[in-house]
Amino acid sequence: MSNSRNAPPPDAAERRRAKAVLVYPLEKMPPFDAAFYEAARIGMTRTAEVMIPPREAKAFHLPAGHFARIVSVEGSQVGDLNLWHQHDLAERFFSGKTRALHGTHLSTGDRLWSSLPYLRPMATITHDTLDWYEWDEDGAGVHDVIGTRCDPYTNMLLNRTEYHHCCHSNLVRALAAERAMPLTEAELRVHDVLNVFLCTGFTRDKHQYFMKASPVRPGDYLEFFAEIDLLGALSACPGGDCSAGHSDGTAACFPLNVEIYRPRAGALDGWHPPQINPYSGGHGAV
């Protein structure tokens, strides 16, 4: 049922027929060099791993030129990912611009872009075992950059209960522990996430955000290449596969594993980390 309080004008149909135009045409984007990344993956060596317990988060280090895999190891589980420049926490993952450039859900070939004024690729997705899912009959896809992360403030607003293992709180604790900073300072650094393995979309009637059971199964992974030195933090969401809800302790939850891989010697010959955005600054001020 329409919520409109105003009658449509005589030219309403014509206005609705306005041509849709892509805001950021793909041909203007830096091209994804699939051959380079595929060659770099051959013969890589696992150098470290960090197991993320259910309903918790941990930080990990990913040097530029290395690969990371977020792996489902025991059961269907969603993870919330934050990324920062290892040497400057002010440069962090910009989910909104990533969404505008690549779309609401990410997969192989898409990049994770950093915040202004840096705006450069932080990481490139190089393999996604769930790429077969594409779009389902509800219009849902996997690995979204729509949702912000579950947080205790929204939980209090909607449910009037205190819960301290929302992904926001988990990420705050993980960053605070990693950088030996107060929780209040770490909270200001935590940001909107890549929802790894989360299956989401918008309803057709009111375009409300929805989630459904993740299709991830043990052995599935999302892999990305670090374009710059990265500090990451991953939360194993308290919603588990997010088939029912989150922000409480009732869902079945499972660990996630972060695996770090170093390419073989010579695999990155000629490659260099991207420079920060060359905009001169000033914003037109006299």
DSSP state letters, 61-120: EE-TT-EEEEEE-SS---EEEEEEETTEEEEEB-HHHHHHHH-SB--TT-EEEBPTTT--
Question: What is the predicted pLDDT for the residue at 168?
Answer: 98
Average pLDDT over residues 92-110: 97
Report residue 27's pLDDT band, with 50, 70 and 90 as the boundaries.
Answer: confident
Q: Domain tally for the chain?
A: 1
CA distance 63 to 262: 9
Question: What is the predicted pLDDT for the residue at 247?
Answer: 81
CA distance 142 to 79: 12
Question: What is the predicted pLDDT for the residue at 28?
Answer: 84
Residue 6 maps to a domain? no
Other beta carbons within 10 angstroms of residue 192's beta carbon come to 19
CA distance 234 to 190: 11
Residue 157 maps to a domain? yes
**DSSP letter assigned to residue 195:** E
Other beta carbons within 10 angstroms of residue 280's beta carbon come to 6
Residue 14 maps to a domain? no
Residue 58's domain spans which residues? 47-262
Residue 24 maps to a domain? no
Map tokens 């900073």 to a residue: 181
CB–CB of 105/261 below 8 Å? no
Residue 58 maps to a domain? yes
CA distance 220 to 75: 10
- Specify the pTM: 0.96
Mean pLDDT is lowest, of 21-25, 191-195, 251-255, 273-277, for: 21-25
Residue 38 maps to a domain? no
Average pLDDT over residues 211-230: 98
Q: What DSSP letter does each residue of 212-237 carry, written as one string?
A: E-----TT-EEEEEESS-EEEEEEE-
Residue 232 maps to a domain? yes
Report residue 25's pLDDT band, with 50, 70 and 90 as the boundaries.
Answer: confident
Amino acid, res. 5: R
Question: What is the predicted pLDDT for the residue at 2?
Answer: 65
Give the Å distances, CA to CA, from 229 to 18, 39, 40, 86, 274.
Answer: 44, 21, 17, 5, 11
Residue 274 maps to a domain? no
Element (H, E) at 123: strand 121-128
Average pLDDT over residues 208-219: 97
Around 284, how many Cα atoms within 13 Å sit in the side-chain half-sphere?
Answer: 0
pLDDT tens-place string over residues 127-148: 999 999 999 999 999 999 999 9
pLDDT above 60 (res 1): no
CA distance 104 to 165: 26
Question: What is the predicted pLDDT for the residue at 70?
Answer: 99
Report residue 217's pLDDT band, with 50, 70 and 90 as the boundaries.
Answer: very high
Question: 275-279: which pairs have CB atoms within 8 A and are 24 or more residues apart?
Answer: 275/120, 276/91, 276/117, 276/118, 276/119, 276/120, 277/116, 277/117, 277/118, 277/119, 277/120, 279/117, 279/119
